[in-house]
Amino acid sequence: MHAAVVLRLVPDIADDLEISESGNDIDREWVGMKLNEFDDHALEEAVLLKERAGASVTAVALDGDGVDKLLQSAIARGADRVVKITYDELPPLPAAAAVAAILADAIQALGADVVLTGVQTPEDAGGQLAAALGARLGWPHLSAVAGVQPAPDGLIVRQEHSGGYATRVHAAGPVVLGVQSASQPPRYVSGSKLRQAIGVKPEKRAGGEAFAGPVAMVRRLAKPASGGGAAMWKGDADAVADQFVALLRERGLLKG
Amino acid sequence: MPMPSPLAVLALIAVAVLVAGYRARVLIAAIARAPAAHRWDQPWQRLGFVAREVGLHRRLLQIRLSGSFHLMIFCGFVVLFSAIVADFGAGLFPGFSLHAIGGDTWIALLQDVFALVLLAAIGLAIWHRFVIRPARFAGSRTTDATLIYLFVIAIVLSMLTEAASGIAAGNVAGGWRPVSGALAAALTGAGLGADGAAALHAGATWVHMLAILGFLAYIPGSKHRHMFTAIPNIFFRPLTPRGVLPAPPEARGQVGISKIEQFTWKDVLDTASCTECGRCQAACPAFAAGQPLSPKKLIMDLRDRIMADAADSAGPLLGGTISEQTLWACITCGACMTVCPLHIEHVPKIVDMRRQLVEEARVGPGLQDAFANMQRTGNSMGKPARQRARWTKDVGFKVKDARKEPVDILWFVGDYASFDPRAQRITIAFAKLLHAAGVDFGILSDAEQNSGNDIRRAGEEGLFQTLARSNMDALSECTFQRIVTTDPHSLNALRQEYPALGGAHAPVLHHTDLLLELIEAGALKLKPGSGATVTYHDPCYLGRYNGGFGAPRALIERAGYRLHEMPRNRENSFCCGAGGGRIWGDDTGVTERPSENRIKEALALGDATLFVVACPKDMVMYTAAIEALDVRGKLAVRDIVDLLELAEA
Ligand code: SF4
Ligand code: SF4
C-alpha cells in the first residue's frame, strides 16, 4: 500500500484576523501559517497505516513559503518520502478544484493507491479537496473519516456522522479519504527528531496543468455582525456566579 | 578461651573480605561497566572541597541534632580505627602494639573518651529515629539502620570490655584509660579474678574482632556503604556551574536514558552512596505537594534496580522502576541537590529519563501543547511572534529594536513577561524605570524566542537546542554591552547554558542587579517607601542556581521597606511550583500546591503585608495562590519593581 498525504499550510485563525483591502481575503501580511489541523490527523492516520500494515507514506504539498519545513516535520513524524509540487500559476485564493488539478497527476505518477487529506481547512470550509481529487483521479472518495483499519483486500474506513452515528465502509480499491480525526491523537514529535529531519531536502515534482473550468470564488468576507445576545454580568465572583446559576436554571439546564 | 591465633585472625579476615567482596560484586561490576563520566579534572580543588565538606560537616549540620550526632559518630569511628589497628595488628603479628606512638597514653585516652561519645551519639540516633521519628525517614529502611546501631554498640562495648578485662588481668596499662579503668575496678569489685579476667579479655577480643568483621561484611548491602563511598562521591561531584544541565553524551547514541545500564559510573556511585537520610525528600516541594515523587525514593529505587542484577527480568525502567508521574512531578528546583550531604545529583537523572519519554512522545497534553506551540511560534502560549513586542505600545516612548541599532543594554524579555497580562504590567514598569534612568536599551522584538531553560529541564533537548541556537543567532547580530532580563529562567539560560553551547559571554544581569546599580549610581532617585513590612521569595533560578540573593534584598531596603524573612529563604527557598516545565503540567494528585504552601509560610510571619517576588512566573503563580486561599485582604504579591517609586523630579 502506498499512501499519499496532502498537507496544506493555512492561516492561523487563532490570531486576530483583518480583512484585506480587496474585501475578499484576510490580510495575510501578519498572519502566521500553520499545518491544517485535519491534515495533521491525516498524516497521523497514514503513519499508523505504515505501522500497522507496512504502507509506505509520501507527504505532498504545493510548493510555497515554509513548505520545506512543513515536509521535514512530516519526515520526523514518520513519512518515508516528501514531495513538493511545483506549478506555474494559481489564483490568490485557489479553489479546491484548481488545487486538485495540480496535485492529481503528481499523485498518480507517485503510484499512490490511497490519498489522505484533511476533511476541510479554514479556506476550504466546504471540504471540497478530497472530493475534487477523487473526481480528478477517477477514484471514490469518503469524507468525515475517523479512522482507517487495514483489511486483507483494502481498507475498512470508519466515518463519523452527527447524532452519534457511524458507518464502516469497505474500500477495496484506490480511494481518497477526507480525514476528520485519526484513530489516535497526532503524536508529539520531539525537537531532536525535527532537528535530524532538517537535513532532508524535499523532492520537487511538476504538477498538472491548471484547471480551466469554472471554480467557486470568495466574493466578500465580513466580520460577524455582533448580535444583541450578549449580556455583561457585573459584580464580584459570588454575584456573577448567582446570575450564572439563575440563567442555567431559567434555560432548564439545572434542576432543583 | 585463648587469644585468637594469627592463623585464626587471618582466616576470619579472609572470610569477611570474601563475603564483603561478594556482597559488593554487583555494585563494583555496575560501576566498572557503566558509561564514562569525566570527573577527574581539577583534583586539588576537589580534594580541598572534600576536606572542608567532610571536616566541617557543613550540610549535615544544617539539621542541628542529626548533624551533631553524625559528627560524633564520625569522630568516634576515626578514633576507634586505632583500636582496630591495634587489635588486628596484635592478632596477626603477636607483639604488635601502638605503644611507641602513644597507644597506651593519649591514644588510649582518646579511645576511652570517644567510646563514650560514640555510645552517646548512638543513643541520640536511636532516640531520634524511634522517638522523634522525623518525617524524612518515611520510606527509609529501618531494619538496616537498627542493625548498624547494634553493630556499633557491639564494637564499642566489646572494645571497652577488652580494655577493662585487660587492665583487670594486668595485661593492659590502665593509667590513661579512665573509663575502662573504672569498669575494671567494677569487675574486680564484683569478684572477677585474674584468670577470669584473662579469659574475659580473650573473649572480648574475639567478640570485638568478630563484630568488626561482621560489620565489614554487612556494609556492602547497607546504607552504611557511605563510609566508603561518601568521600569519593563528594570528590567526583560536578564542577560545572549549577545552572548548566549536562547535554546527552554522544556515545549514548540516544537523547535520553531508557535502560539502567545507561547511567554513568558516577550515577551508580550516587545511588550506592545514598544514606536514606531523607533530607532531599523533606526539601522537595513536589513531595510536599503530595506528588508521587520523593528524590530519596527515586535514588533508592534506581539503586535497588542496579543491585537487582537482573536487568531484563525487572521490567522497563521508565514506567516500571520509575513511574512516568514521578518523573513529571519534578520542578527541577534543585533543593534536593542543595541539601544532600553526599552531593548526589538527582535532577540530571530525572531529566535524562524525561528526555527519553519525550523522544517516545510519552508526554501529557499540557506539556505537549506547550512544546508544539514552541516549535511553531517560539513561545509556550502559541502567540504569534510579532505580538511579542506588543507591550511596547503602552510604555509611552519608543523601545529600540536592537536588531536595527546598537544599544548599551539588550533586554531579553522572556515569554511570560512579554505575553502574560499579569506579568506585562511589571515589564512596562521596568521599561519606564530604565527610560527614567536614561539607559540606552533595546529588545530583540519578534526575533526573541523562549530561552529554552524550562524546555530543556522538561526533557525536550532538541527543542532547547533549536531555541537556543535561534536566540544565539539573533543576539550575535546585535551590538550591545550587557544583557538584562526580569526572568530568572531566561537569566539562567543566557548566563549559563548558552555559553556552554558556545554562545558569546556577554554579562547577563537580572533586573534587580541593574536597578540596584542605577540607584547606587544616582541615576534613579526613589521616593521613600511606606516602611511596611514585606517578605521576599527567592526564585530558584535567580537564587539557588545563580546566587542572586543580595540585590533584591538591597532593593527592598533602598525602597524603604522592612524585610521579614520567611524561614525557608535563600538557598533553602521553597519553589513556587512552576519550574522545569511543571507550569504546563496538570495538578492531578496535588494535595497542596507548592505556591499555596509558600503563601501560608508568609502569612505565618504575622506582620508581612506584601509578598515580594522577582520573577514573572512568580507573579502569576502567587497571584493565583492568594486567590485560591482567599487571603487577598491579608497579603498582596508585588514585584520588586512595584516597590520602586520614582521621586518627583
Ligand atoms: S529538583 Fe526539586 S522538585 Fe525535583 S526532586 Fe529535587 S527537590 Fe524535588
Ligand atoms: S539522596 Fe542525599 S539527601 Fe536524599 S536521602 Fe540520599 S543521602 Fe539523603
Question: In this model, does residue B378 exceed pLDDT 80?
Answer: yes
Question: In this model, does residue B208 exceed pLDDT 60?
Answer: yes
Instruction: Give, in degrees to the nearest 5, the angle at Cα A207 between A204 and A213.
Output: 160
Q: Which residue of B has its CA nearest to A193?
A: B462
Do B384 and A195 lie within an 8 Å CB cutoff?
A: no
Buried/exposed B218-243: b ≥16 CB within 10 Å, e otherwise: bbbebbbbbbebbbebbbbbbeeebb
Per DSSP, the three-state class of B294 is coil
Cell 567482596 maps to which residue? Answer: B21
- Express as a percent the part of chain B with pLDDT over 70: 99
Q: What integer pLDDT is reported at residue A228 of this predicted model?
A: 67
Among A34, A188, A191, beta carbon nearest to B368: A188
Q: Provide the residue ranges of all domains of chain A, joining segments of one domain with +.
A: 2-206
Q: What integer pLDDT is reported at residue B281 of this predicted model?
A: 97
Q: What integer pLDDT is reported at residue A164 of this predicted model?
A: 87
Q: Which residue of B has its CA nearest to A70?
A: B376
Q: What integer pLDDT is reported at residue B587 of this predicted model?
A: 77
Q: What integer pLDDT is reported at residue B312 of this predicted model?
A: 53
Q: Mutate which of A192, A194, A236, A238 to test chain B, going by most B C-beta atoms within 10 A?
A: A192
Residue nearest atom 6 in ligand 2 by C-alpha distance: B274
Q: Is B321's C-beta closer than 6 angstroms to any atom of ligand 2?
A: no
Do B466 and A189 lie within an 8 Å CB cutoff?
A: no
What's the DSSP call for residue A144?
A: E
- The lowest-confidence range among A177-191, A194-208, A214-228, B567-581 is A214-228
Give chain A's mean pLDDT.
90
Q: Could you report the per-residue pLDDT of B216-254, keeping only the tens digit for each?
A: 999 998 989 999 999 999 999 999 989 999 999 999 999
Cα dihedral A210/A212/A215/A221 (nearest 10): 60
Q: How far apart are CA B408 and CA B464, in angstroms?
A: 27
Question: In this model, does residue B122 exceed pLDDT 80?
Answer: yes
Q: Which residue of A has its CA nearest to B452?
A: A191
Mean pLDDT across B476-500:
95
Do B466 and A190 lie within an 8 Å CB cutoff?
A: no
**Is A237 an 8 Å CB contact of chain B?**
no
Q: What integer pLDDT is reported at residue A43 of this predicted model?
A: 97
Do A191 and B359 lie within an 8 Å CB cutoff?
A: no
Among A12, A31, A188, beta carbon nearest to B363: A188
Q: Provide the pLDDT confidence category of residue B3 given band limits of 50, 70 and 90.
A: confident
B232 vs A23, more confident: B232
Residue nearest atom 2 in ligand 2 by C-alpha distance: B340
Query: Cell for B498?
Result: 548558552
Mean pLDDT across A48-74:
94
Q: Which ligand is nearest to the CA of B229?
A: 2
Among A12, A30, A192, beta carbon nearest to B462: A192
Mean pLDDT across B190-219:
93
Query: Cell for A181?
Result: 480525526
Q: What integer pLDDT is reported at residue A32 of this predicted model?
A: 78
Question: Pairing between strand A2-6 and A56-62?
Answer: parallel
Q: Is B495's C-beta closer than 6 angstroms to any atom of ligand 2?
A: no
Q: What integer pLDDT is reported at residue B580 of this predicted model?
A: 78
Mean pLDDT across B413-419:
94
Query: Cell for B22?
Result: 561478594
**Is B470 an 8 Å CB contact of chain A?**
no
Query: Cell for B438?
Result: 536614561
Q: What integer pLDDT is reported at residue A28 of this predicted model?
A: 82
Mean pLDDT across B336-347:
96
Q: Could you report the per-residue pLDDT of A104-161, keeping only the tens digit for each?
A: 989 999 999 999 999 999 888 889 999 999 999 999 999 999 999 999 888 999 999 9
Among B368, B385, B463, beta carbon nearest to A191: B463
Do A191 and B363 lie within an 8 Å CB cutoff?
A: no
Q: How far apart are CA A6 and CA A22, in angstroms?
A: 29
CA of B579 relative to ligand 1 center, distance in Å: 10
- Express as a percent the part of chain A with pLDDT over 70: 96
pTM: 0.89
Q: Could you report the per-residue pLDDT of B87-97, keeping only the tens digit for each?
A: 899 999 988 98
Do B461 and A192 lie within an 8 Å CB cutoff?
A: yes
Q: Provide the pLDDT confidence category of residue A223 given band limits of 50, 70 and 90.
A: confident
CA of B155 relative to ligand 1 center, distance in Å: 38
**Is A169 an 8 Å CB contact of chain B?**
no
Q: How far apart are CA B408 and CA B190, in angstroms?
A: 88
Q: Provide the pLDDT confidence category of residue B309 given band limits of 50, 70 and 90.
A: low
B5 vs B470, more confident: B470
Q: What integer pLDDT is reported at residue A88 of this predicted model?
A: 85
Question: Which residue out of B291, B336, B545 has the highest number of ligand 1 atoms within 8 Å of its CB and is therefore the one to mutate?
Answer: B336
Q: Provide the pLDDT confidence category of residue A256 given band limits of 50, 70 and 90.
A: low
Mean pLDDT across B116-137:
95
CA of A138 relative to ligand 1 center, distance in Å: 60
CA of B593 relative to ligand 2 center, distance in Å: 23
- The lowest-confidence range among A86-100, B360-374, B594-608 is A86-100
CA of B344 relative to ligand 2 center, distance in Å: 7
Q: Could you report the per-residue pLDDT of B502-533, keeping only the tens digit for each?
A: 887 789 999 999 999 999 999 999 888 788 99
- Assign a CATH topology to domain A2-206: Rossmann fold (3.40.50)
C-alpha dihedral sign at B67, B72, B74, B75:
positive
Q: What integer pLDDT is reported at residue B76 of this predicted model?
A: 95
How many Cβ atoms from other residues are within 10 Å of residue A65's Cβ?
Answer: 9
Q: Could you report the per-residue pLDDT of B543-583, keeping only the tens digit for each?
A: 999 999 999 999 999 999 999 999 999 999 998 888 778 88
Residue nearest atom 2 in ligand 1 by C-alpha distance: B333
- Please report the DSSP string for A22-80 in residue order: TSSSB--TT--EEE-HHHHHHHHHHHHHHHHH--EEEEEEE--TTHHHHHHHHHHHT-S
Q: Which residues of A touch B386 (CB under 8 A)?
A: 30
Q: What integer pLDDT is reported at residue A237 of this predicted model?
A: 85
**Is A195 an 8 Å CB contact of chain B?**
yes
- Which residue, B281, B223, B233, is CA-closest to B70? B223
Cell 567510646 maps to which residue? Answer: B115
Question: In this model, does residue B310 exceed pLDDT 70?
Answer: no
How far is C-alpha B303 from the geometric centre of its chain's CA atoms? 18
Minimum distance, in Å, between the CA of residue A8 and any CA atom of chain B: 15
Closest ligand 2 atom, CA of B281? 4
Q: Which residue of B has its CA nearest to A15?
A: B384
Protein residues whose CB sits closer than 6 Å to any atom of ligand 1: B 283-286, 293, 295, 330-336, 346-347
CA of B474 relative to ligand 1 center, distance in Å: 33
Q: Which residues of A touch B376 (CB under 8 A)?
A: 32, 34
Mean pLDDT across A153-173:
92
Q: Which residues of B touch A30 (CB under 8 A)?
A: 384, 386
Q: Which residue of A has its CA nearest to B356?
A: A190
Q: How far apart are CA B500 and CA B66, in angstroms?
A: 38
Q: Provide the pLDDT confidence category of residue B376 given band limits of 50, 70 and 90.
A: confident
Among B382, B385, B464, beta carbon nearest to A191: B464
- The lowest-confidence range among B146-155, B225-234, B304-313 is B304-313
Among B368, B384, B462, beta carbon nearest to A191: B462
Mean pLDDT across A87-111:
86
Q: Could you report the per-residue pLDDT of B154-196, keeping only the tens digit for each?
A: 999 999 999 999 999 988 888 899 999 999 999 999 988 889 9
Give chain B's mean pLDDT.
93
Q: What integer pLDDT is reported at residue B649 of this predicted model?
A: 59
What's the DSSP call for residue A58?
A: E
Q: Could you report the per-residue pLDDT of B57-112, keeping only the tens digit for each?
A: 999 999 999 999 999 999 999 999 999 999 899 999 988 989 899 888 999 999 99
A89 vs A84, more confident: A84
CA of B604 relative to ligand 2 center, distance in Å: 29
Do B384 and A187 lie within an 8 Å CB cutoff?
A: no
CA of B339 relative to ligand 2 center, distance in Å: 8
Q: What integer pLDDT is reported at residue A227 of this predicted model?
A: 67
CA of B176 relative to ligand 1 center, distance in Å: 51
**Is B171 an 8 Å CB contact of chain A?**
no
Cα dihedral B272/B273/B279/B283 (nearest 10): -70
Question: In this model, does residue B265 exceed pLDDT 70?
Answer: yes
Q: Which residues of A touch B465 (CB under 8 A)?
A: 191-192, 195
Q: How far apart are CA B552 and CA B612, in angstroms?
A: 9
Question: Which residue out of B276, B287, B303 has the highest number of ligand 2 atoms within 8 Å of its CB and is therefore the one to mutate?
Answer: B276
